[in-house]
Amino acid sequence: MRPVKAEWHCIINPKAGSGKTMVGWAVCEKALNAASVPFVTVLTERKFHARELACGAAEAGYRRFLAVGGDGSVHDVLCGIMDYVSASGAQASDFVLGVVPIGSGNDWIKSLGVPHDIPKVVSLVASESFTMEDIVKVETKDGVSYMANIGGVGFDSHVCERVNALKEQGKRGRFIYLTSLIYTLFHTKKFHARVVTDGEEVFEGDLLSAAFGNGPYCGGGMKQVPDAVIDDGLLDYMLVPKAPVIKILLDLPRLYNDTLHESKLLKAGKCRVLELYGENIAEADGEVVGALPLKITMTGEQIRVVAPR
């Protein structure tokens, strides 16, 4: 086993934050130096590169990671850490994961109560303010991934697919998620699905969308699984069966005002293992991770994360 390194390994996504990453990183770098926090930096060069970099850094002995970007960067770094943990037999709890919130999507920090303020995040890093978060394993036809915050199938995954396509075209801004949501609402079709939680079938029929979360926030502040708790060992899920578009539109405000539980359209619950069968794609933390069938498992492991205690 290689010696454990004391430095924070900072993985920077230069394309995050509408191209403002390096401006934000300059602020962070200055604050880290002022706080005498040891660190090394590396820049991603392509999509999913952060996952490779994190896995390689973990193998080299790094145990403290800062993802510099948004939720997608957090997702990739977590996956890289867990790739190493899975291959080596190391403990997830030996690692620390934090984020310098520069990206366009920063829902993970809302679930943790982390301020959207770079100097304050550095203060948490310097004071070693950590809490624990559950490890969520996501398996699809296309491979294994891990989820830091929230994911979905159907409507949710196609919204993310469209958002990511717009980002690839160079479009940015806080409204691309909302416009993608409205577009997808009128273009996504139902699909036949079977949902099994903890070995018991809870739904079979036409489904528009499924969301599952370790944390409650998505899409810049919406709450699809408002009761999700990041360290309770349980996965929260919300299913949207086939319904007229007008009824779904009328329920959209519930995503922002904590009244989702009052909707008569939805089916929600908590579990440790969720399986979803059908013909569709799945996303986790805003990244499309593969085609169904899908299996999500609360592994029982936890990782330390930078957050107010």
For the chain, domains (ranges, CATH) are: 5-128 (3.40.50.10330), 143-299 (2.60.200.40)
3-state helix, strand, coil in the chain (%, to 5): 35, 35, 30
Quick check: helix, strand or coil at residue 30?
A: helix
- Least confident stretch, 73-82, 186-195, 250-259: 250-259
Instruction: Check whether 105 has a pLDDT greater than 70.
Output: no
pLDDT at position 82, please? Answer: 98
252: left (phi over 0), alpha (psi -120 to 50) or beta: alpha
Question: Which two three-digit tokens encode residue 209?
Answer: 């969308």
Q: For the residues 235-253, what does the mean pLDDT come to?
A: 78
pLDDT at position 104, please? Answer: 63
- Least confident stretch, 104-108, 129-133, 141-145: 104-108
Overall pTM > 0.85: yes
Q: For the residues 239-253, what does the mean pLDDT come to?
A: 74
Q: For the residues 191-212, what does the mean pLDDT come to?
A: 96
Are residues 220 and 174 in contact, defined by beta-carbon separation less than 8 angstroms? yes
Helix axes 155-168, 176-185, angle to 10 degrees: 130
Instruction: Check whether 125 has a pLDDT greater than 80.
Output: yes
Question: Which two three-digit tokens encode residue 222?
Answer: 């919406």
Are residues 123 and 35 in contact, defined by beta-carbon separation less than 8 angstroms? yes
Report the C-alpha gap between 65 and 82 in whole angstroms: 12
Are residues 157 and 281 in contact, defined by beta-carbon separation less than 8 angstroms? yes
Burial of 245: CB neighbours in 10 Å, binned 0-12, 13-18, 19+: exposed
Report the C-alpha gap between 249 and 188 in whole angstroms: 14
Q: For the residues 69-85, what does the mean pLDDT come to?
A: 96
pLDDT at position 101, please? Answer: 92
Q: For the residues 67-73, what does the mean pLDDT come to?
A: 92
pLDDT at position 160, please? Answer: 76
Q: For the residues 207-217, what does the mean pLDDT come to?
A: 93
Q: For the residues 55-62, what does the mean pLDDT come to?
A: 98
Name the phi and psi angles at 233, rounded to 5: 75, 10
Mean pLDDT of the chain: 90
Radius of gyration of the chain (CA): 19
